[in-house]
Structure 1
Amino acid sequence: MENPVPITPSETIVDSCQRLGLGRIQRHLFLCCDQTKPKCCSKEDSLATWDYLKKRLPELGLDCTQSSRDGNIFRTKANCLRVCQQGPILLVYPEGIWYRNVTPTVMEKILQEHILQNRPVEEYRFFTHPLSHL
């Protein structure tokens, strides 16, 4: 997993959690990206979307490592989300919304509509299974 800020040898796990802003996360985005064996899309296409997401979250003030506000987004590069069709695939938690064909253009639409306005992007959503509280 990519680490945006290097961990120092004296840093504790609590320090790491605070630095990452884990307590302020409201959504977690998993992007099928940088696959070992690309099946749903090319590795280059998935990395283009990942790079776009990495750039846009800080620009929108949503990157949990760079913002002290609540409502931040945590992003994770998933090698494969096992759908293996119409990728890149994006999974947004806690809503459990799965998106297909997530190019940089589609990612921008998802960020603007789903993430900022709480309106899922129906034309790219193909499945929903929200996480329930135990």
Structure 2
Amino acid sequence: MQEAVTEAGLDITVRTAGCLEVCKLGPVVFHSGDRTWYTRVTPEVAREIVQSHMVEGRKVERHLYPPPGQS
């Protein structure tokens, strides 16, 4: 995640955390700016989250938690 943020030139702090109560769906990313949760985040998905969500403003729906329509 940090590498993707740095590559995109964004001023965003990436922090690690322990269990976020959805460990079985991990790795998990929580974007505090808009309180979005992402699950099953691989390095490739992290790059997609940074580019699509943080740069372009489009959430990566297939990794959202809860999934769209299941709040």
Give ranges in structure 1 of 5+ residues lacking alignment: 1-52, 63-71, 129-134
Q: Which residue of 2 aligns with 1:56?
A: 4
Tell me how far 1:127 sits from its aligned partner.
3.0
Could you list the per-position Cα deviations for residues 6-27 of structure 1 after superposition, in whole angstroms to 9, with x for gaps in the alignment?
Answer: xxxxxxxxxxxxxxxxxxxxxx
How high is the TM-score relative to the length of structure 2?
0.82
Give the share of equivalent positions with the same residue, in percent. Answer: 34
Which of residues 60, 65, 71 is equivalent to 1:126? 65
- Aligned residue in 2 for 1:95: 34
Q: Which has the higher strand share?
A: 1
> Deviations along 1:92-124, whole A, 9 cap, x unmatched?
112111111000011111011001001111110
Alignment gaps of 5+ in structure 2: none
**Count of aligned residue pairs for this structure pair:** 67
Q: 1:54 Cα shift?
A: 2.2
Q: State the superposition RMSD in angstroms.
A: 1.6
Larger Rg: 1
- SS, match of residue 85 in structure 1: helix
